[in-house]
Amino acid sequence: MADDVKIFGMPAESGRWVLVIVGMIIQLCLGAVYAYGALRGSIEAFFKTHGLAPTAMDMTWPFIVFLAVFALTMPMAGPYIQKMGPKKVCMAGGALCGLGWIAASFAPSPAMLIPLYGIIGGLGVGIAYGCPIAVSAQWFPDKRGLAVGTTVLGFGLSSAIVSYSTKYMLGINLGIMDILKIFGIAFLIITVVLSVFLMFPPAGWKPAGWTAPAPKPGAAAKADFMRNEMTKTGTFKGLWLCYTIGALAGLTAIGIAGPVGTEVFTQIKATELGLSITDPAVAKAVKDLIFLLIVPFALVNGLARPIFGSLTDKLGTKNTAILAFALIFVACMLMYTNYTSGNAYIAAFAILWACLGGWLAIAPTATASYFGLKDNAKNYGLVFTAYGAGAVIGGIVSAQAKMLLGGYKPFFLIVAVLAILGIIVAHMLMKPPVKNTT
C-alpha cells in the first residue's frame, strides 16, 4: 500500500522530496564541468610558467572530450542503473568523477588533461548523471517535470559555486592544481556518501490519492517503450534533433560568453573610465565584469530547470519545447541586431543560458512521459547523446567561431535559423507515440 512506504522515516509523499535534494547536491558536484571556463585561464597560465604555449584549441579539447565522453557513457550506464540500482552505479560514477579532478591536478600539459580530466571525469559524470534523474522521475509520476527540473538544478548552479570558490582560493594563494585536487576530493566524498540514499520506489507504488490521468478522447493509451522500440518512432527522432539544437545553442553561448562580452564591454568600459581601449585598466574592468556575470547566468541556468520542468507538466512537452526555441530565437536576434549593447548582451546570454537549463529538464521529462518508465534509464541515456552531439559541435564552434565566421556576430543569426527549425520539428514530431502491438 502507498501509505506503508517510508522514506527517511517519513511518508513517501513527503520523504521523496528529500531524495530530490540529495540528487540536486550530487548533480552540483557532477555539474562542475561547466566551470571549466573559469578554471581554464589559471590552468593555461600554470602551463605557461612551465615553458608551454597552449593554443585556444589545446585548452578547449579537454572540455570537449569531457562532454563527449559524458554523453556517450550515459546510454551505456542506463541498463546498469535498472539492473544494479541507482545507489551502486552513482557511487561508482561519483568516485570516478572525483578521481578525474584529482588526476587532472597532476597533468603536465594540456594534452594530458584529455585522458585525466576529459576521459576519467567524463566517464564518472556519464555513469552517475542519470541516477538521480531516474530516481526523481520514478518517485514523481504526478509532478515529474518539477521534480526532475529541481534535481538537475544543482548541475546548473555548480559553475557559479565552483567559479567563486576558485576565485577565493586563488586569492589566498592556493595554486590552481591544488584547487583541482581539493574539488576532486570533495566531489568524491560528497557523491559517494549521498549515493547511499538513492533508491527506486517499490513496484506499483504511486502517491496516495493520485491516479494517472486518462487519455484524451481519441488519443492512444500510454505505453512503455523499450529502447529498441523507442528508436523506431518519429517522436524519438524529433526529440533527439530538438535536444541537439537546444544543447548546441546553449553550450556554444557558454563557450563564447567571455570573448563576446570582452568585445561588447571593452568600448563601454573605456568610455566610462575615460581611457583608451588598450589601457590595462580597461581590460581588468571588463574581465571583472564578465566574471561577476557568471553568477546571474548560472542562476538563470539553474532556476530555469525546475521552471521549464513545471511548464512541461502544465503545457506539455511540445509546447514547452516550442517556447524554449522561441526564446532562443528572440535572444539571438536581440544580440545580432544590438551587438554593441551591454544590456542586449546581458539579456540575450541570460536567455540562452536559461534555455540550455530548460532543455536539461524538458528532455528527461519528455522521455519519461512519451516512452514510459519501464526502460526509462536506458531510453534517456540514448536521448542524452543529443546533448553530446550539441556539446561537441558547440565546443568546436565556441573555440573556432571567430576564425570560421570572421567574428562572433554571425553565430547568432545561424542559431536563430536553427531555432526556427527546432520549432518546426517540435510541432511536427514531438507528440505521444503510438506503440505497434502487431
In 274-337, which ranges are continuous DSSP H helix?
280-315, 317-337
Residue 406: left (phi > 0), alpha (psi -120 to 50), or beta? left
CATH H superfamily, domain 1-201: MFS general substrate transporter like domains (1.20.1250.20)
Q: Where residue 218 falls among pLDDT bands split at 50, 70, 90?
A: very low
3-state helix, strand, coil in the chain (%, to 5): 80, 0, 20
Buried/exposed 225-241: b ≥16 CB within 10 Å, e otherwise: bebebbeebebbebbbb
Query: Are residues 386 and 244 in contact, defined by beta-carbon separation less than 8 angstroms?
Result: yes
Summarised one tens digit per residue, pLDDT across range 245-265 is 999 888 888 778 888 888 889
Report, as an integer, the average pLDDT of 200-229: 75
Summarised one tens digit per residue, pLDDT across range 275-324 is 888 888 888 888 888 888 878 888 888 889 899 988 998 899 999 999 99
Summarised one tens digit per residue, pLDDT across range 343-358 is 999 999 999 999 998 9
Task: Using CB atoms within 10 Å of the CB of residue 39, give its burial: 0 to 12 exposed, 13 to 18 middle, 19+ buried.
Answer: buried
Please give the Cα distance from 293 to 360 (Å, whole number): 21
In 172-214, which ranges are continuous DSSP H helix?
176-195
Residue 365: helix, strand or coil by DSSP? helix
> Which pLDDT score, from 0 to 100, does residue 261 have?
87
Q: Which residues contact 1 (CB under 8 A, 6 or more apart)?
A: none
Q: Do 1-201 and 224-438 have matching folds?
A: yes
Amino acid at 326: A
List residues bridging with 10 in a β-sheet: 7
- Side-chain half-sphere CA neighbours of 96 within 13 A: 23
Q: Which helix (H) or strand (E) holds 7?
A: strand 6-7
Identify which has the larger pLDDT, 94 or 9: 94
Q: Where residue 1 falls among pLDDT bands split at 50, 70, 90?
A: very low
Q: How far is CA 386 from the centre of its chain?
A: 12
Summarised one tens digit per residue, pLDDT across range 165-194 is 998 999 899 999 999 999 999 999 999 999
Please give the Cα distance from 191 to 31 (Å, whole number): 12
Question: Rg of the chain's alpha carbons, rounded to an integer?
Answer: 22
Reference 242, options 435, 75, 429; nearest CA is 429
Question: What's the CATH number for 224-438?
Answer: 1.20.1250.20
End-to-end Cα, the chain, rounded Å: 35
> Which pLDDT score, from 0 to 100, does residue 395 have?
72
How far lies 197's CA from each of 16, 22, 87, 209, in Å? 11, 8, 7, 26
Reference 361, options 426, 314, 418, 302; nearest CA is 302
Mean confidence (pLDDT) of the chain = 88
Name the residue ranges covered by the structural domains of the chain. 1-201, 224-438
> Which pLDDT score, from 0 to 100, does residue 43 have?
92
pLDDT at residue 413 is higher than 70: yes
Q: Between vectors from CA 310 to CA 309 and to CA 315, what angle results, nearest 5°?
A: 100
Please give the Cα distance from 251 to 191 (Å, whole number): 25
> Which pLDDT score, from 0 to 100, does residue 11 have?
86
Task: Using CB atoms within 10 Å of the CB of residue 88, give its burial: 0 to 12 exposed, 13 to 18 middle, 19+ buried.
Answer: middle
> Which pLDDT score, from 0 to 100, does residue 160 have?
83
**Lowest pLDDT segment from 226-230, 271-275, 307-311, 357-361:** 271-275
How far lies 70's CA from each of 82, 87, 117, 128, in Å? 19, 19, 11, 10
Reference 20, options 315, 392, 361, 283; nearest CA is 361
pLDDT at residue 64 is higher than 80: yes
What nine digits make up the cell of 98? 572525483
CA atoms 415, 332, 329, 290: torsion sign:
positive
